[in-house]
Amino acid sequence: SNDYIEAIKNHIHLKRPMKIVIDCGNGVAGAYAKKIYESIGCSVDELFCDVDGTFPNHHPDPSEPHNLNDVIAHLKKSEAELGFAFDGDADRLGVVTKDGQIIYPDRQLLLFAEDVLSRNPNATIIFDVKSTRHLFQWIKDKGGNPLMWKTGHSLIKAKMKEENAALAGEMSGHTFFKERWYGFDDGIYAGVRLLEILSRFDNPSAVLNSLPNSINTPELQIKMNEGEPHALIKKLQSEAVFNDALDVIKVDGLRVEYEDGFGLMRASNTTPVIVL
């Protein structure tokens, strides 16, 4: 772990010290997150950083908004500028602004993409089919090559290697940095990269809140029997008609683009459900 901390400390440089709160949800991030953030010049408030596999405080899943309530409450009463939360094995990052706004991973990726492309023009940036449509134009405007791919940790990682992409991210919170790092998903490292960018600004929350945003529904799931979801999606891919659609993307299920938004339906990789 000392080699890992040294590797981060040696190439991440904050423009100013920052004060953050971290919620490790009693997962493994608690063993070393504070030490890592302090090593790059942060002051760190800890929440639930004792590693305890019974997860006595809340489930360690930053993709569920209610699991971020403790971070939001702490930001209100403390001097911390930003809040981070991690899942159980610390490969996913949740981000909360000073005013309690949750910055979902696809919006985080907007900022990461801009930063990576400032050093690597024409680089390929990969994102999954669940991600915001703002990524397409944003990446192009910043001089990059946007590529949408299938949802799934291993699928994104394989595509990243195939395309020699500099950066990839999933709506679930997995972010993969190949530029300046090793191409695997690591929530603590994603946090370090975010702090490096935001330390250039006096008001990091204003920068995050100004990122393009859209109104979106929560993820909905239609439960089916084993094998049925994939069969239904295959049938819809070949037969369904979507009037007024600008584009129908079939890389993973059906993502139908309209002038004012998009709809997605796909078979889950892990359970027999259709995800909307």
Within the chain, strands assigned E span: 18-23, 42-47, 82-86, 93-96, 102-103, 124-128, 145-149, 167-169, 175-177, 221-223, 247-249, 254-258, 261-267, 273-275
The string of DSSP codes covering 205-242 is HHHHHTS-----PPP-EEE--TTHHHHHHHHHHHH---
Check: CB of residue 218 under 8 Å from CB of residue 275: no
pLDDT at 95: 98
The structure tokens listed for 163 are 């395309």
pLDDT at 254: 98
Residues 6+ apart with CB under 8 A from 129: 148, 149, 150, 151, 249, 251, 252, 253, 255, 264, 266
Instruction: Say if 106-177 and 221-275 have the same CATH topology.
Output: no
pLDDT at 1: 82
The structure tokens listed for 16 are 């100013």
Q: Where are the domains of the chain?
A: 2-103+198-208, 106-177, 221-275
Q: Measure the CA–CA gap between 53 and 49, rounded to whole angstroms.
A: 12
Q: Measure the CA–CA gap between 250 and 237, rounded to whole angstroms.
A: 7
May I ask the CATH architecture of the domain 106-177?
3-Layer(aba) Sandwich (3.40)
pLDDT at 218: 85
The structure tokens listed for 74 are 């702490």
Q: What is the mean pLDDT of each run of 10 residues along the chain (276 residues)?
A: 94 97 98 97 98 97 96 98 98 98 97 98 98 97 98 95 98 97 97 98 98 92 96 97 96 97 95 96
The listed CATH number (3.40.50.2300, 3.30.310.50, 3.30.420.40, 3.20.20.150) that belongs to domain 221-275:
3.30.310.50
Check: CB of residue 175 under 8 Å from CB of residue 108: yes
Label residue 162 left, alpha or beta by phi (over 0 means left) and psi (-120 to 50 means alpha).
Answer: alpha
pLDDT at 71: 98
**Fold type of domain 2-103+198-208:** Alpha-D-Glucose-1,6-Bisphosphate; Chain A, domain 3 (3.40.120)
pTM: 0.96
pLDDT at 240: 96
pLDDT at 203: 98
